[in-house]
Amino acid sequence: MSTLSKNFEPAQVEEQWYQHWMNKRYFHSTPDSRKPFTVVIPPPNVTGVLHMGHTLNETVQDVLVRKARMSGFNACWVPGSDHASIATEAKVVQLLEKEKGIRKADLTRENFLKHAFEWKDKYGGIIYHQIKKLGCSVDWERATFTMDEHYYQAVIKVFVDLYNKGMIYRGARMINWDPAAQTALSDEEVEYKDIQGKLYYVKYKVADSEDYITIATQRPETIMGDTAVCVNPNDERFAHLRGKQVLVPLVNRAVPIIFDEYVDPAFGTGALKVTPAHDINDYNLGLKHSLPIIDTLNADGTLSAAAEVFVGMDRFEARKAVVAQLQEEGLLVKEEEYSTRLGFSQRTSAVVEPRISTQWFVQMKEMAGKALGAVTSGEVKIHPEERFMATYKYWLENVKDWCISRQLWWGQRIPAWYDADGRFVVAATESEANQLFQTTFGQPAGGTLTQDEDVLDTWFSSWLWPMEVFNGITQPGNEEINYYYPTNVLVTGQDIIFFWVARMIMAGMEYKNERPFEHVYFTGMVRDKQGRKMSKSLGNSPDLLELIERFGADAVRFGILISAPAGNDLLFDDSSCDQGRSFNNKLWNALKLVKLWEANGIAQYDRNEEDFRKAAFAADWFAARLATVREQVEKMYSEFRLSEALKTIYSLIWDDFCSWYLEWVKPPFGQPIDGHLYSCTLDYFEQLMQLLHPFMPFVTEEIYHQLRERADGDDLTIRQFEPVAESIGVERDAVLAQGELLKSLITAIRDARVKNQLKPKDSIKLHVQTAAEANYSLFEGLLLKQVNAEAFSFVQDAVAGSIAVVLGTDKLYLETEVQLDTAAQKDQLLKDLEYQRGFLISVDKKLSNERFVQNAKPEVVEAERKKRSDAEQKIKAIEESLEALG
CATH number reported for the structural domain that contains residue 317 in this entry: 3.90.740.10
Domain assignment of residue 619, yes or no: no
Domain assignment of residue 857, yes or no: yes
Between CA 65 and CA 61 the distance in angstroms is 6
Residues whose CB is less than 8 angstroms from the CB of residue 329 and which lie 6 or more positions away in sequence, other chains included: 249, 250
User: In degrees to the nearest 10, what's the CA dihedral of 158, 159, 163, 164?
Assistant: -40
Between CA 659 and CA 786 the distance in angstroms is 12
Between CA 529 and CA 569 the distance in angstroms is 12
Between CA 796 and CA 350 the distance in angstroms is 82
Band (pLDDT 50/70/90 cuts) for residue 852 is confident
Give pLDDT tens digits for 823-850. 777 887 888 889 989 988 998 888 888 8
Neighbours of 534 (CB within 10 A): 18
Between CA 359 and CA 351 the distance in angstroms is 20
Between CA 26 and CA 866 the distance in angstroms is 52
Band (pLDDT 50/70/90 cuts) for residue 238 is very high
Does position 462 have pLDDT exceeding 90, yes or no? yes
Between CA 799 and CA 884 the distance in angstroms is 8
Band (pLDDT 50/70/90 cuts) for residue 346 is confident
> Beta strands of 457-612 (E only): which ranges?
487-493, 517-523, 526-527, 570-571, 602-603
In the chain, the amino acid numbered 479 is E
| DSSP 8-state secondary structure symbol assigned to residue 537 | T
Among 329, 354, 379, the domain boundary falls at 354
Give pLDDT tens digits for 535-572. 655 677 788 899 999 999 999 999 999 987 765 777 88
How many percent of the chain have pLDDT more than 70? 96
Between CA 490 and CA 381 the distance in angstroms is 10
Between CA 613 and CA 608 the distance in angstroms is 9
Between CA 803 and CA 884 the distance in angstroms is 11
Band (pLDDT 50/70/90 cuts) for residue 728 is low
Domain assignment of residue 314, yes or no: yes
Structural domain span for residue 235: 183-354
Domain assignment of residue 846, yes or no: yes
Kindly provide the b/e burial profile for residues 821-846, where b requires at least 16 CB atoms within 10 angstroms of the residue's own CB. eeeebeebbeebbeebeebbeebeeb
Work out the average pLDDT over 417-422: 91
User: In degrees to the nearest 10, what's the CA dihedral of 178, 182, 185, 189?
Assistant: -50
Give pLDDT tens digits for 764-784. 999 999 988 888 888 888 898
**Exposure of 563 by Cβ count < 10 A (0-12 exposed, 13-18 middle, 19+ buried)?**
buried
Neighbours of 463 (CB within 10 A): 26
Band (pLDDT 50/70/90 cuts) for residue 112 is very high
Among 319, 354, 389, the domain boundary falls at 354
C-alpha R_g of the chain: 37
Between CA 618 and CA 776 the distance in angstroms is 13
Band (pLDDT 50/70/90 cuts) for residue 277 is very high
Between CA 501 and CA 371 the distance in angstroms is 10
Beta-sheet pairing, 271-274 with 228-231? antiparallel
CA angle 40, 44, 45 (to 5 degrees): 140
Give the pLDDT confidence score for residue 772 in this predicted structure: 87
Domain assignment of residue 52, yes or no: no
Does position 727 have pLDDT exceeding 60, yes or no? no
pTM: 0.84
Domain assignment of residue 458, yes or no: no
Beta-sheet pairing, 353-362 with 168-178? antiparallel
| DSSP 8-state secondary structure symbol assigned to residue 651 | H
Work out the average pLDDT over 809-821: 82
Give Cα 28 to chain centroid, integer Å.
25
Does position 882 have pLDDT exceeding 80, yes or no? no
Between CA 188 and CA 419 the distance in angstroms is 33
Band (pLDDT 50/70/90 cuts) for residue 587 is very high
- Average pLDDT of the chain is 90
* Residue of 313, 156, 186 lying closest to 250 (CA atoms): 313
Among 328, 354, 380, the domain boundary falls at 354
Handedness of CA 418, 421, 422, 423 (dihedral sign): negative
Domain assignment of residue 584, yes or no: no
Which residues participate in the annotated binding site for ATP? Answer: 536
Band (pLDDT 50/70/90 cuts) for residue 1 is very low
Asked if residue 65 lies in contact with residue 74, where contact means CB atoms within 8 angstroms, the answer is no
Give pLDDT tens digits for 368-394. 999 999 999 999 999 887 777 888 888
Number of domains, the chain: 2
Give pLDDT tens digits for 481-530. 999 999 999 999 887 888 899 999 999 999 999 999 999 998 888 887 77
Q: What one-character-per-residue DSSP string does 198-265 give?
A: EEEEEEEEETTSS-EEEEEES-GGGGGG--EEEE-TT-GGGGGGTT-EEEETTTTEEEEEEE-TTS-T
Domain assignment of residue 412, yes or no: no
> What is the length of the chain?
886
Between CA 70 and CA 460 the distance in angstroms is 35
**Exposure of 294 by Cβ count < 10 A (0-12 exposed, 13-18 middle, 19+ buried)?**
buried
Give the pLDDT confidence score for residue 418 in this predicted structure: 94
Beta-sheet pairing, 228-231 with 253-259? parallel
Residues whose CB is less than 8 angstroms from the CB of residue 769 and which lie 6 or more positions away in sequence, other chains included: 794, 795, 796, 797, 798, 810, 811, 812, 813
Give pLDDT tens digits for 613-670. 666 889 999 999 999 999 999 999 999 999 999 999 999 999 999 999 999 999 888 7
Which residues participate in the annotated binding site? Answer: 536
